[in-house]
Amino acid sequence: MLWPTPCVRRRVRLLAFALPLLGGAHLDAQATSRTAAPGRQWPTASPTALGLNPAVLDSIDAEIKAGKYGYMDRMLVIRHGTVAFNRSYANDYDQLFRDSVATHGSLNMHDFTSPFNYYNTWWHPYYRRGDLHSLQSVTKTVVSAVIGAAVLRGDFPSLETPILRYFDTTKVRNIDDRKRRVTIRHLLTMTGGFDWNESLPYTDPNNTATGLETSADWIAYTIDRPMMREPGTRFNYSSGESALLAHVFRQATGRDVEEYAAQFLFAPIGIDRWFWKRTPSGTADTEGGLYLTAEDLARVWYLFTQNGMWNGAQVVSAAWVKESTTPAISTGTTPTAPKYGLKWWLYPDPLDATKFVWSGSGFGGQFPMAFPDLDLVVVFNAWNILPRQGGSLPIRKMQERLAKAVVSR
């Protein structure tokens, strides 16, 4: 099997996108406009200078330190392109997982040293115990942004293209008229219609995603699944559909999705350190394999609050930002269920239910979010993966508290 090479991918940023070094300078209130993207480091200012109530942020910080939300690793709050609050939290994962790391189970199905052993602290939650944190399914949202960059450059086909165009159909199982109608858009909106059950805990071996990660070929495992329903009719969370995007991207553009991301998404917005897992067959793990620092993950969310513009360069189009963050389908049947765009989770804005908080969501507690009307970006990282583990981040209550922490526009 081809596992990820043990190195962090580094890329030299293109001169066309060279960014001024701000050196993390502490700014006053007059310097906090939305006009300039951050340089190599985010500038910093006090919460008060950025129109935030520090008591709210301090109270969340105290709750995290008290263990109320389980094993939290990071809280990062950015307003007007400036860091207002930045905390890291130490957890002894070696001690916590001392028994689980060498016991086979649904989160540890391969060799114990494998990057798909979620208890192995060489791989999780940080890459090589450094500062690159596993994003898990937030990877899906970043991949959508990569596709947006390719669409802008004319390198990616229409989202209405049937995905079977990129497969040898003589080798694909369970083909019927419904599978022939599955398009790229359906993969991006989790409406592909495949027979897939990811509603079970990831510790349950009956979760279809567990079968995916134990298979030798993730692409074949997914595309060969029988169909359950007409594509486009219902949201059904499927990491397999996201895994297919690595294959579709490669076939459609002639480029590996990680290589393309390095040149046309990461470099333009100042990301030069990351790690990206590979599946056993060699494709980039586009359903959950990306690692970034919290600061660099925030760059992707900040890019979208700026309509895809970074220091005068259009990285993804404003139209792509709008389509990505416009509800394509509801994730549930209740009126308050989150909506879903092009791999973006869209929660009702706590201050205006007609608008949305643009979010990602990843296993273990990865929650980047943007409040576009408030010019506010927040990143939480955690690693709450043990069954029957007490405490996790109440995402909606947290969104409400953060929105109400804004005391001036």
What pLDDT, in 10s, does the model give residues 227-280? 999 999 999 999 999 999 999 999 999 999 999 999 999 999 999 999 999 999
What was the pLDDT predicted at 36?
A: 76
Average confidence score pLDDT of the chain? 92
Per CATH, the number for 63-404 is: 3.40.710.10
What was the pLDDT predicted at 9?
A: 42
pTM: 0.92
What was the pLDDT predicted at 320?
A: 98
What was the pLDDT predicted at 10?
A: 41
Closest residue by Cα to residue 277 from 135, 144, 149, 141: 135
What pLDDT, in 10s, does the model give residues 44-102? 999 999 999 999 999 999 999 999 999 999 999 999 999 999 999 999 999 999 999 99
What pLDDT, in 10s, does the model give residues 353-388? 999 999 999 999 999 999 999 999 999 999 999 876
Q: Can you tell me the distance from the alpha carbon of 200 to that of 207, in angstroms, rounded to the nearest whole number?
A: 5
Average pLDDT, integer, range 26-37: 48
What pLDDT, in 10s, does the model give residues 196-233? 999 998 888 899 999 999 999 999 999 999 999 999 99
**Helix, strand or coil, per DSSP, at residue 144:** helix
Long-range contacts of 372-375 (CB under 8 A, 24+ apart): 372/304, 372/305, 372/325, 373/349, 374/79, 374/403, 374/406, 374/409, 375/34, 375/79, 375/80, 375/81, 375/305
The length of the chain, given as a count of residues: 409
What was the pLDDT predicted at 377?
A: 98
- Which of 36-45, 140-149, 369-378 comes out lowest in average pLDDT? 36-45
Average pLDDT, integer, range 160-174: 98
